[in-house]
Amino acid sequence: MKRRHLLQMAGTGICSTANAGCLGGLSTNSVSGKPMEVGVEQSSSDHDALEYRAEMIEPRITESHTATVRTAAENTGNEEIEIQADPSNPTYIYLEGHSLELILIPVGEFDYQREGDRCWSPENTLGSDLLVKQTVLQPGEQAVIEYELWTPKESQNTCIQRGRYEFVDASRMLILTIT
């Protein structure tokens, strides 16, 4: 069975792809307090031949590291499937009922450094002109991507908030809960 792995391995722990932030409230300038725990509440697909799953590789957000989630999309059917899965671009997910967001940043794709002792927010701004590429999965093939959670610099210097974050596209759903 032919498989293409789009697996990004974590090298240094500070990469950018998923916005994980501060352990405090809005406008907190430093990481302090109790570590946050991130869990996968739901990962699913509405396509009969696409199995979509996610698991936490590193579920805690602390002063020294952010959380990491691994996603996998597998074509379990007999025909090719085209999905939005780009291991080289960030994905934004939103806090339920709010415009606050996290960025899921593919591990190893960006050389981001944390801005001072602030939340898990990168020094650089992510471009808003990033296009998500389509990935074609042949029968039996899967795309695996690891993401780190970060807070976008564009988010008015806010830190990650506890709550329920959702990502939905044409074929997949991912819900992360931060406590």
Per-residue pLDDT of 41-96, as tens digits, reads 998 998 899 999 999 999 999 888 899 999 999 999 999 999 887 777 777 777 77
Is pLDDT larger for residue 12 or for residue 127?
127
Give the tokens for residue 88.
């080289």
| Exposed/middle/buried for residue 19 (C-beta within 10 Å: 0-12, 13-18, 19+) | buried
Which domains does the chain possess? 36-178 (2.60.40)
What is the per-residue pLDDT for 135? 87
Question: What does pTM read for this prediction?
Answer: 0.74
What span, in angstroms and rounded, lies between the C-alpha atoms of 148 and 71?
Answer: 11
CA atoms of 19 and 17, how far apart (whole Å): 6
| pLDDT digits 0-9 by tens, 65-80 | 899 999 999 999 999 9
